[in-house]
Amino acid sequence: MAKSFGWTIREVKLLPFGGVVEVEDAGGVPSWEEAWVAIAGPLQNLWMALAAWGCGKLGIWEYSWAVYVIQANIMIGLFNLLPIHPLDGGKLLQALLYRFLNYYKVLMWTTRLSLLLSMSMVIGSLMPWLLYGQGIQLNVCIVGLFLFMTNWTNSRHLPFIFYRFLMHRERLMERVMKTGKLATPIIVNSKQTIWSVARLFYKESYHVIYIAEPEAGTLSLLPEQKIVDSVLSNRNPHRAVCELFE
Protein backbone atom coordinates (compact mmCIF):
# COMPACT_ATOMS: atom_id res chain seq x y z
CA MET A 1 0.00 0.00 0.00
CA ALA A 2 2.83 2.40 0.86
CA LYS A 3 4.59 1.61 -2.42
CA SER A 4 1.37 2.25 -4.35
CA PHE A 5 1.36 5.80 -2.97
CA GLY A 6 4.98 6.29 -4.04
CA TRP A 7 6.41 6.33 -0.51
CA THR A 8 10.15 5.77 -0.10
CA ILE A 9 10.49 2.61 2.03
CA ARG A 10 13.59 2.64 4.21
CA GLU A 11 13.07 -0.73 5.87
CA VAL A 12 10.43 -3.17 7.10
CA LYS A 13 10.81 -4.43 10.65
CA LEU A 14 9.22 -7.81 11.36
CA LEU A 15 7.95 -7.84 14.95
CA PRO A 16 5.92 -10.42 16.93
CA PHE A 17 2.70 -8.48 16.25
CA GLY A 18 3.37 -7.78 12.54
CA GLY A 19 5.50 -5.68 10.22
CA VAL A 20 6.36 -2.01 10.78
CA VAL A 21 7.29 0.08 7.76
CA GLU A 22 9.96 2.78 8.19
CA VAL A 23 9.64 5.45 5.50
CA GLU A 24 11.64 8.50 4.44
CA ASP A 25 8.49 10.55 3.85
CA ALA A 26 7.13 10.46 7.41
CA GLY A 27 5.49 13.79 8.24
CA GLY A 28 5.17 14.84 4.62
CA VAL A 29 2.46 12.51 3.26
CA PRO A 30 -1.31 13.21 3.38
CA SER A 31 -3.17 11.85 6.40
CA TRP A 32 -5.57 9.84 4.23
CA GLU A 33 -2.61 7.96 2.75
CA GLU A 34 -1.30 7.23 6.25
CA ALA A 35 -4.75 5.93 7.20
CA TRP A 36 -4.91 3.56 4.21
CA VAL A 37 -1.39 2.23 4.90
CA ALA A 38 -2.38 1.59 8.53
CA ILE A 39 -5.67 -0.09 7.54
CA ALA A 40 -3.79 -2.36 5.12
CA GLY A 41 -2.19 -4.16 8.09
CA PRO A 42 -5.38 -5.54 9.74
CA LEU A 43 -6.83 -6.20 6.26
CA GLN A 44 -4.05 -8.75 5.70
CA ASN A 45 -5.17 -10.60 8.80
CA LEU A 46 -8.77 -10.43 7.59
CA TRP A 47 -8.12 -12.00 4.21
CA MET A 48 -5.83 -14.66 5.73
CA ALA A 49 -8.57 -15.56 8.22
CA LEU A 50 -11.09 -15.78 5.37
CA ALA A 51 -8.68 -17.94 3.35
CA ALA A 52 -8.25 -20.26 6.33
CA TRP A 53 -12.02 -20.48 6.73
CA GLY A 54 -12.34 -21.35 3.02
CA CYS A 55 -9.62 -24.01 3.26
CA GLY A 56 -11.40 -25.53 6.24
CA LYS A 57 -14.78 -25.56 4.51
CA LEU A 58 -13.35 -27.13 1.34
CA GLY A 59 -11.48 -29.79 3.31
CA ILE A 60 -8.06 -28.58 2.16
CA TRP A 61 -7.05 -28.09 5.79
CA GLU A 62 -8.06 -29.97 8.88
CA TYR A 63 -10.84 -28.15 10.74
CA SER A 64 -8.79 -27.69 13.93
CA TRP A 65 -5.87 -26.15 11.99
CA ALA A 66 -8.20 -23.81 10.09
CA VAL A 67 -9.79 -22.67 13.37
CA TYR A 68 -6.34 -22.06 14.86
CA VAL A 69 -5.24 -19.90 11.89
CA ILE A 70 -8.53 -17.94 11.98
CA GLN A 71 -8.24 -17.27 15.71
CA ALA A 72 -4.56 -16.29 15.43
CA ASN A 73 -5.25 -13.76 12.65
CA ILE A 74 -8.25 -12.30 14.46
CA MET A 75 -6.17 -11.93 17.64
CA ILE A 76 -3.22 -10.29 15.83
CA GLY A 77 -5.53 -8.04 13.79
CA LEU A 78 -7.42 -6.81 16.86
CA PHE A 79 -4.19 -6.32 18.80
CA ASN A 80 -2.79 -4.18 15.97
CA LEU A 81 -5.85 -1.94 16.20
CA LEU A 82 -4.98 -0.87 19.75
CA PRO A 83 -4.30 2.92 19.80
CA ILE A 84 -0.61 2.46 20.63
CA HIS A 85 2.18 3.66 18.37
CA PRO A 86 3.65 2.03 16.23
CA LEU A 87 0.67 -0.35 15.98
CA ASP A 88 -1.76 0.28 13.11
CA GLY A 89 -4.38 1.51 15.58
CA GLY A 90 -1.96 4.14 16.87
CA LYS A 91 -1.28 5.33 13.32
CA LEU A 92 -5.00 5.45 12.54
CA LEU A 93 -5.58 7.53 15.67
CA GLN A 94 -2.87 9.97 14.58
CA ALA A 95 -4.36 10.27 11.09
CA LEU A 96 -7.75 11.09 12.65
CA LEU A 97 -6.40 13.62 15.16
CA TYR A 98 -4.48 15.51 12.45
CA ARG A 99 -7.86 16.87 11.33
CA PHE A 100 -8.58 18.43 14.74
CA LEU A 101 -5.24 19.21 16.43
CA ASN A 102 -1.95 20.72 15.34
CA TYR A 103 0.86 18.35 14.44
CA TYR A 104 2.93 18.87 17.60
CA LYS A 105 -0.04 18.21 19.91
CA VAL A 106 -0.90 15.04 18.02
CA LEU A 107 2.67 13.78 18.44
CA MET A 108 2.75 14.69 22.13
CA TRP A 109 -0.65 13.30 23.15
CA THR A 110 -0.50 10.08 21.12
CA THR A 111 2.95 9.37 22.55
CA ARG A 112 1.66 9.93 26.09
CA LEU A 113 -1.37 7.72 25.43
CA SER A 114 0.90 5.01 23.98
CA LEU A 115 3.12 5.14 27.07
CA LEU A 116 0.09 4.86 29.35
CA LEU A 117 -1.50 1.95 27.48
CA SER A 118 1.74 0.01 27.01
CA MET A 119 2.53 0.34 30.71
CA SER A 120 -1.03 -0.83 31.45
CA MET A 121 -0.27 -3.94 29.40
CA VAL A 122 2.80 -4.63 31.53
CA ILE A 123 0.89 -4.11 34.78
CA GLY A 124 -1.99 -6.26 33.52
CA SER A 125 0.41 -9.09 32.70
CA LEU A 126 1.67 -9.01 36.28
CA MET A 127 -1.77 -8.95 37.96
CA PRO A 128 -2.29 -12.77 38.10
CA TRP A 129 1.01 -13.05 39.95
CA LEU A 130 0.41 -10.04 42.22
CA LEU A 131 -3.19 -10.97 43.13
CA TYR A 132 -3.28 -14.74 43.03
CA GLY A 133 0.34 -15.87 43.03
CA GLN A 134 -0.07 -17.38 39.56
CA GLY A 135 2.31 -17.13 36.61
CA ILE A 136 3.10 -13.93 34.76
CA GLN A 137 1.62 -13.51 31.26
CA LEU A 138 5.11 -13.36 29.80
CA ASN A 139 4.17 -12.71 26.16
CA VAL A 140 1.99 -9.73 27.08
CA CYS A 141 4.68 -8.44 29.43
CA ILE A 142 7.43 -8.59 26.80
CA VAL A 143 5.31 -6.92 24.10
CA GLY A 144 4.17 -4.25 26.56
CA LEU A 145 7.75 -3.50 27.58
CA PHE A 146 8.83 -3.32 23.94
CA LEU A 147 6.03 -0.86 23.12
CA PHE A 148 6.78 1.20 26.23
CA MET A 149 10.49 1.48 25.40
CA THR A 150 9.69 2.32 21.78
CA ASN A 151 7.41 5.17 22.83
CA TRP A 152 9.78 6.33 25.55
CA THR A 153 12.49 6.68 22.91
CA ASN A 154 9.96 8.35 20.62
CA SER A 155 9.10 10.90 23.33
CA ARG A 156 12.77 11.83 23.63
CA HIS A 157 12.96 12.35 19.86
CA LEU A 158 9.83 14.51 19.47
CA PRO A 159 11.81 17.68 18.55
CA PHE A 160 13.67 15.79 15.81
CA ILE A 161 10.44 14.28 14.48
CA PHE A 162 8.94 17.77 14.41
CA TYR A 163 11.95 19.14 12.52
CA ARG A 164 11.48 16.39 9.93
CA PHE A 165 7.84 17.45 9.60
CA LEU A 166 8.91 21.04 8.92
CA MET A 167 11.38 19.89 6.30
CA HIS A 168 8.46 18.43 4.28
CA ARG A 169 6.25 21.54 4.41
CA GLU A 170 7.26 22.58 0.91
CA ARG A 171 5.58 19.42 -0.39
CA LEU A 172 2.33 20.47 1.29
CA MET A 173 2.56 23.93 -0.31
CA GLU A 174 2.84 22.28 -3.73
CA ARG A 175 -0.29 20.20 -3.07
CA VAL A 176 -2.20 23.29 -1.88
CA MET A 177 -1.20 25.26 -4.97
CA LYS A 178 -2.41 22.45 -7.26
CA THR A 179 -5.83 22.20 -5.60
CA GLY A 180 -6.33 25.92 -4.98
CA LYS A 181 -7.04 25.31 -1.29
CA LEU A 182 -7.24 28.44 0.88
CA ALA A 183 -4.49 29.08 3.43
CA THR A 184 -5.41 28.74 7.10
CA PRO A 185 -4.70 31.87 9.20
CA ILE A 186 -2.88 31.80 12.54
CA ILE A 187 -2.95 34.91 14.74
CA VAL A 188 -0.09 35.24 17.23
CA ASN A 189 1.41 37.87 19.52
CA SER A 190 4.59 39.55 18.32
CA LYS A 191 6.38 38.40 21.50
CA GLN A 192 5.80 34.71 20.85
CA THR A 193 8.83 32.71 19.79
CA ILE A 194 9.31 31.46 16.25
CA TRP A 195 9.42 27.89 17.62
CA SER A 196 6.07 28.28 19.42
CA VAL A 197 4.46 29.59 16.23
CA ALA A 198 5.76 26.62 14.21
CA ARG A 199 4.23 24.27 16.77
CA LEU A 200 0.78 25.63 15.83
CA PHE A 201 0.99 24.24 12.30
CA TYR A 202 -1.60 21.66 11.22
CA LYS A 203 -0.41 18.76 9.09
CA GLU A 204 -2.98 19.24 6.32
CA SER A 205 -3.08 23.05 6.25
CA TYR A 206 -0.83 25.68 4.74
CA HIS A 207 -0.75 28.73 7.02
CA VAL A 208 -0.53 32.47 6.81
CA ILE A 209 0.64 34.01 10.09
CA TYR A 210 -0.84 37.28 11.34
CA ILE A 211 1.38 38.93 13.94
CA ALA A 212 -0.50 41.29 16.25
CA GLU A 213 1.23 44.13 18.08
CA PRO A 214 -1.44 45.50 20.47
CA GLU A 215 0.74 48.38 21.71
CA ALA A 216 1.28 49.71 18.22
CA GLY A 217 -2.16 48.69 16.97
CA THR A 218 -0.68 46.96 13.93
CA LEU A 219 -1.11 43.58 12.27
CA SER A 220 1.75 42.18 10.19
CA LEU A 221 1.66 39.25 7.80
CA LEU A 222 4.11 36.40 7.24
CA PRO A 223 3.96 33.35 4.97
CA GLU A 224 4.43 29.99 6.66
CA GLN A 225 7.68 29.36 4.81
CA LYS A 226 9.31 32.30 6.57
CA ILE A 227 8.70 30.59 9.92
CA VAL A 228 9.89 27.22 8.61
CA ASP A 229 13.09 28.68 7.16
CA SER A 230 13.80 30.49 10.44
CA VAL A 231 13.39 27.31 12.51
CA LEU A 232 15.54 25.24 10.18
CA SER A 233 18.27 27.87 9.90
CA ASN A 234 21.24 28.03 12.25
CA ARG A 235 19.81 31.06 14.06
CA ASN A 236 18.02 30.79 17.41
CA PRO A 237 14.38 29.64 16.82
CA HIS A 238 13.44 30.80 20.34
CA ARG A 239 13.75 34.47 19.48
CA ALA A 240 10.59 36.60 19.17
CA VAL A 241 8.71 36.28 15.90
CA CYS A 242 8.71 40.08 15.49
CA GLU A 243 12.48 39.90 14.88
CA LEU A 244 11.78 38.39 11.46
CA PHE A 245 10.84 41.89 10.27
CA GLU A 246 14.18 43.42 11.28
State the pLDDT at residue 130.
Answer: 82
State the pLDDT at residue 235.
Answer: 77
Give the start-to-end residue ranges of the domains of the chain.
1-100, 102-157, 168-245
pLDDT per residue as tens digits for the range 49-62: 999 999 998 888 99
Q: In angstroms, rounded to a whole number, what is the distance separating the alpha carbons of residues 141 and 114? A: 15
Q: Parallel, antiparallel, or unpaired: how do β-strands 218-223 and 207-213 relate?
A: antiparallel
pLDDT per residue as tens digits for the range 179-231: 777 888 999 988 899 999 999 999 988 999 999 887 666 778 888 999 999 99
- Which residues in the chain come in under a pLDDT of 70? 16-18, 25-26, 215-217, 246
State the pLDDT at residue 186.
Answer: 92
Q: In angstroms, rounded to a whole number, what is the distance separating the alpha carbons of residues 220 and 34? A: 35
Could you tell me which residues are beta bridge partners of residue 21? 12
Q: In angstroms, rounded to a whole number, what is the distance separating the alpha carbons of residues 117 and 36? A: 24
Q: In angstroms, rounded to a whole number, what is the distance separating the alpha carbons of residues 145 and 139? A: 10
Q: What is the DSSP string of 155-182?
A: HHTHHHHHHHHHHTHHHHHHHHHHHTPP
Q: In angstroms, rounded to a whole number, what is the distance separating the alpha carbons of residues 25 and 8? A: 6
Q: What is the DSSP string of 28-40?
A: TS-HHHHHHHHHH
User: CB within 8 A of 202, min separation 6: which ones?
Assistant: 98, 101, 102, 103, 184
